[in-house]
Amino acid sequence: MTITPLHDWTVTTREARVLQETLAGQVVTSGTLGDWKTLAAADVSFTRSSPVLYAAVVVVERETLNVVERVGLAAPAAFPYVPGLLSFREIPSLIEAFRLLKTTPDVVLVDGQGIAHPRRMGIAAHLGLCLGRPTVGCAKSRLCGKFDPPGPERGDRSPLMDKGEVIGAVLRTKDRVNPLFVSPGHLCDLESCVDLVLSLTGKYRLPGPTRMAHEYVNQVRREATAGEAGPKPSG
């Protein structure tokens, strides 16, 4: 997968915030996801005390959710852990993983925020700009905004609001289980994001591909920390 560099990742925290404010104007939150055929789920694992990140991307096909390809790697973190600026810490390693893919996914699903971010530049929005692909943010917790709790049943939702703007949806993906926080990353609207997440959930709270990426990145981490040979792309 070919990726064009968006900007230099060697920045200060102040420069990172300015970049977020500038890049937010480039995010497109309109359009539908259309008849997508492949989806890539991305996840990163790390401990705040370690300089090493573990990144994983799992590509699945739409009809069966069978794995088409997966890539995992370990990489040094070049940016500190700063809430609100996690994309500067995590995206460089994810970009390296995406570069290893033979498949160019139609949609990217990220375990994190899209525009549901104080500067409208969560990791899903930032990664979407870097990849130039439709990207959806699906987070387990709220970063910013206010909301009324959605109803108790699967599919119930309420708007996530910040400064008078709808920045996402608080979506119940399983009856009487804590909701997820869904927001557009890039090149898609909120309704498409909600529809996608609902189509990928059912038995579990999290979308199936997100669970696959989470399990795989933990495998990558276990193998690396055990001193075993690093995982190789498959597909």
- pLDDT number for residue 229: 46
Mean pLDDT for 139-145 is 98
Indicate the number of domains in the chain.
Answer: 1
Burial of residue 229 (number of CB atoms within 10 Å: 0-12, 13-18, 19+): exposed
Q: Would you say residue 7 lies in a domain?
A: no
Query: Domain range holding 43?
Result: 23-148+184-225
Task: Taking each helix axis as running N to C, give the angle between helix 123-131 and helix 13-23, from 0 to 180 degrees, rounded to the nearest 10.
Answer: 70
**Cβ 125 vs Cβ 135: under 8 Å:** yes
Q: Would you say residue 15 lies in a domain?
A: no
Burial of residue 182 (number of CB atoms within 10 Å: 0-12, 13-18, 19+): buried
CA atoms within 13 A on the CB side of 205: 16
Mean pLDDT for 158-168 is 98
pLDDT digits (tens, 9 = 90+) for 10-68: 999 999 999 999 999 999 999 999 999 999 999 999 877 788 999 999 999 999 999 99
pLDDT at 141 over 90: yes
Q: Report the C-alpha gap between 135 and 28 in whole angstroms.
A: 10
pLDDT band at 233 (very low <50, low <70, confident <90, very high): low
pTM here is: 0.94
Q: Report the C-alpha gap between 228 and 163 in whole angstroms.
A: 49
Q: Would you say residue 153 lies in a domain?
A: no
Q: Would you say residue 40 lies in a domain?
A: yes
Mean pLDDT for 111-126 is 98
Q: Would you say residue 92 lies in a domain?
A: yes
Q: Would you say residue 213 lies in a domain?
A: yes
Round the average pLDDT of the chain to a whole number and report it.
94
Q: Which CATH number does the domain housing residue 56 bear?
A: 3.30.2170.10
Q: Would you say residue 234 lies in a domain?
A: no
Q: Regarding beta strands 165-171 and 38-45, do their DSSP bridges make them parallel or antiparallel, or are they unpaired?
A: unpaired
Q: Would you say residue 231 lies in a domain?
A: no
